[in-house]
Each structure stands twice: as structure tokens, then as C-alpha cells.
Structure 1
């Protein structure tokens, strides 16, 4: 087994886990560091799918109790309405009350927020992969996103939704369209959803938590689709490399999620904005002054 390849897998796994849920673009970081490590072949695409899936599983594990409660409550509510309300009052009368139940509304909001990225992703997947997955696009979007975060943080801030359960489907849809912007690498899925949440009235912690929950269906769907598109690249011989990256990403993501939730409860996103801007400028400078020969630039 190639020790250097295992070290690359370890480093990229840690980078993915630490950045997936921070507003700094995990995809952008994987593109940049994958290029620097000269790990950009077809196998690397499959590897990135695996470590992104590990990060999502880390959130599922971290929020397992809350997700399980919502699932069991939703199942109980659904059974009750199916047995009683829908039979006695009919679909049109019972449905509004059904959708107002907290557990049902939670899953309904995730579904509604998931739709914009799902539809637009299917429509533009090939174009985005072909033309936008390169270091210069990433650097530009890192800088632009950082400036946008600074602008949002300077606005008057009056949150009206203090828990995920307070959200309506219209709030979820708005956040969903914000998430769709993150299909451009370097934008940051979590950054787009969190900043969008702040604009639309979510508290900092609520915006961050909804971003984590929304990542579950979004990244699961993206992972399944990427596996389908790259199935021929999977090889049992690559299992050790994938395993190292998977484990590193899983545990790094668990650490990042816990620390991030604690941080955002009482702090702004300004440090992340400046990190994005400085990182993006360094990448552009390295290209302009020919310090680094970027493979895909």
C-alpha cells in the first residue's frame, strides 16, 4: 500500500470533516488541496464522495436522538391522522392541521428546502462539474462569499425564529433557494444556508442547526447520484485509502459540529469571512505570480 496516498487520504479526510459544516466551502477546500497534493484523477472523485458521506453520517450520529424522536413522533402522528382525522374529516380539512404538527412540519420543511438544490442540481450537474470545479472559480467565490458575510453581519439583526421547529414551509423554501447557490464550488453550502437563514429571520443557532439537518437529505442525494455517475471507478483495492479518509472525515466532522454550534450561539461569522477572503486572495496571487502551477486553472 502506498503510504503517501494514505497520508493524502488522512489529510483530505480531516479537511473535509472540519470544513463541511463551516461557512468556508468544503468542496472548494477539497479542490484546492486535492490539486496541491496532485490527487485529481478519476479515483479522487470517488474518494471525495466517500469522505463527504462520512461527514454527513457524523451529523446523523451527533443528532441521532433528536432525529429519532422526530421520526417516531412523525410516525405516530401520521398513524393517528390516517386512522381518525382523514377518515372523519377528509383530506382537505385534515391536511392543514396535519402539517402544523411539529414533527411533521420538521420533515416537511426539510423536504421543501431540499427541492431547489435537487431540481437545479439535476439540470446543471454536467455544466457545473465541467466548467466550475477549478481553483480560480473557488478562489473567486471564497472572496465574494466572504464579502457577502461581512455585509450581512453589518445589517440590523432581529431574529424572529429561535428554534428549527418554529420555521414555516415558506421560511424553509427561502433557505432552500439560498442553498442552491452553493452548487458553485467555493460558495459553501453551509455558508449559503446559514447566511440565508439570518437574512430570513432565523437566529444564529437555528440557522446553523437547520443547515446541519438540511445537509442530510441534500448530501445523501448528492452522494447517491455521484455514486451512480462514477460507479465504474469503485475498486476493492482502494478500500484502505477510502477507509482512512472516511474515519478521518467522520471524527473531524463530529468535532467541528460541536465546536461550531457552541461558537455561533454568541459570536458573529466575521472571522470566517476574513478567512475566506484571505485564503481566496492567496490562491489568486499564487496563480497570478506563478508561484503554483494549478492543474485545472
Structure 2
């Protein structure tokens, strides 16, 4: 991976992490279109730069995250993230195996787009407009919905926002809680991928994520650069998404997923 490729991947991560269009799918497709060789470092890089995107939400909602007078938000997020931590650990190998199957991911992208076309009609009368009205039970339910995104191409954002709307949250409240939930979820995924997971297990290149990063100066520079760019781009994307979602709903994103997904299916089938 060279610097230009790393910058492009990081921009894609920042733009798509909080949109209901699957950042994993878009980074994978981008890497394929750029002709990048699939490697453990590339996979780890795509996961680790989510840390930069996470920080954008912490900065934008810093009053919420650092309001230590009200511990309810921490309790809700802790309860909501548990399903993803448990199931993510159990199915880590299966998830990684799907990451290289671009046709399967493209198909999920299209199917998810079809769902988004109808979401606004399904949930028209929200009863929860603010995070403070979300119960722990509701938070856990949203946490289980988030687990649907373990299938690459689904979108963690889409799954958790729709999960929130099934529980009576407004589009805005569901989107914001999805952003909050991304922080512990993606932080756990990043820490696991960088410090715990052994990449290339059973091969001569077996090593931890941080060992790959520290392998040479180029890897360190790419890691730092990727996180900085993902952070800056995500700041812009989060604010824009909230505005568009509140005004126009999910249909735009649904059609986007369908069009991009069909285009990618054609590309990957003809490229065989």
C-alpha cells in the first residue's frame, strides 16, 4: 500500500463509517478497484483507521461523552455494546472469510438498499425523541440489531439506526444513538485488531496488528495518516448525514446502495 492508496481508503472510511451504506464494503471495493493486493496489513489498516472516525463523534458530542454528572449514557452504551463484543469474538474468523467475497458483499449492499426504500414508511410515529428517554432494555435491543452488520455490506449504522426506529426512536434520535454506540463498539474492534488478534495465523508472517504497524516507518506513517484523515472527513460526514437524514429520510441512501451494488455486481462478474 502506498501513501495515495492509504489516503483514498481513509477518505472512504471517514465518509462512510456513519452513513447507512457500509464502510467495510466501500473500503473493500475501493481497494479492489485500485488494484491493491489483499494482505493482512490492508485488512488491519481498514479496521484500525476506524479509530480516527470514532474520535470525530467524541469531538462533536463531547458534552455528552464527558458529562460525568449523568452516568446513564455510559450504562446504556455498555449494555448495548455487549452483544457485539460477544458475537463479534465468536464469529471473527467467519466474518474475515467473507471480507474477500466482493460478490456476496455487493449482493448484501443491494438487498440492504431495498430495505432502506421502505423504512420511512414503516416507522412514521416515533415516541422517543431524545437519548435521555432511551431505556437500558431499548439500548440492548439496538445493540442486537447492530450485530446484523457483522455481515459485511450490511452497514453498522443502518442496522443500529433501523433497530432504534423499531423501538420508537425518531430518525435523528436513532442516528445519534447509533453514533454514540459506534464509539465503544469500534474502539473494541480496533483494540482487538491491533493488540489482541493474531493476523496470518499459522503462516510464516504471523504477527499482531501493532507488530505490523511497527514493522517499518512506512507502516507507521500510513497508520497515523489514515487515522487523521478519517477523523477530519468523518467530522464533516456526521454533520451532513444528520441534516440529510432528518430532512429526506432513507430513500436517497437506499437508491444509492442499489445502484452502486448492481454496478459492482456487474463489474465483479465481468472481471472474473
Is TM-score (shorter-chain normalized) higher than 0.5? Answer: yes
Equivalent of 1:250 in 223, 231, 255: 231
2:12 aligned residue: 15
2:200 aligned residue: none
CA shift in 2, pair 1:43/1:158, >3 Å: same
Kept in 1, the 8 Å contact 2:142–2:163? The answer is: yes
1:233 aligned residue: 212
1:47 aligned residue: 45
**2:258 corresponds to 1:277:** yes
Q: Which structure 1 residue ranges, 5 or more long, are not aligned? A: 74-102
CA shift in 2, pair 1:188/1:202, >3 Å: same
Shift of 1:152: 1.8
Equivalent of 2:150 in 183, 188, 197: 183
Q: How does 1:133-144 map to 2 (within 5 A)?
A: 133-144=100-111
4+ residue segments displaced more than 6 Å: none
Shift of 1:62: 1.4
User: Which structure has more helix as a fraction of its residues?
Assistant: 1
**Cα distance in 2, alignment partners of residues 45 and 287 from structure 1:** 20
Query: Between Structure 1 and Structure 2, whose CA radius of gyration is higher?
Result: 1
Q: Which structure 2 residue ranges, 5 or more long, are not aligned? A: 198-207
Kept in 1, the 8 Å contact 2:102–2:268? The answer is: no
When the two structures are superposed, what TM-score results if normalisation uses the length of structure 2?
A: 0.90
**Cα distance in 1, alignment partners of residues 21 and 64 from structure 2:** 26
Kept in 1, the 8 Å contact 2:119–2:250? The answer is: no
Q: Which moved more, 1:125-134 or 1:160-169?
A: 125-134
**Cα distance in 2, alignment partners of residues 247 and 187 from structure 1:** 25
**Cα distance in 2, alignment partners of residues 49 and 128 from structure 1:** 13
**Cα distance in 2, alignment partners of residues 169 and 43 from structure 1:** 37
Equivalent of 1:38 in 31, 35, 38: 35
Q: How does 1:46-195 map to 2 (within 5 A)?
A: 46-69=44-67, 72-73=68-69, 103-195=70-162
Shift of 1:132: 4.7
Cα RMSD (Å) of the superposition? 1.5
Shift of 1:38: 2.7
**Cα distance in 2, alignment partners of residues 123 and 17 from structure 1:** 27
Kept in 1, the 8 Å contact 2:98–2:152? The answer is: no
When the two structures are superposed, what TM-score results if normalisation uses the length of structure 1?
A: 0.83
Shift of 1:133: 4.0
Shift of 1:45: 2.0
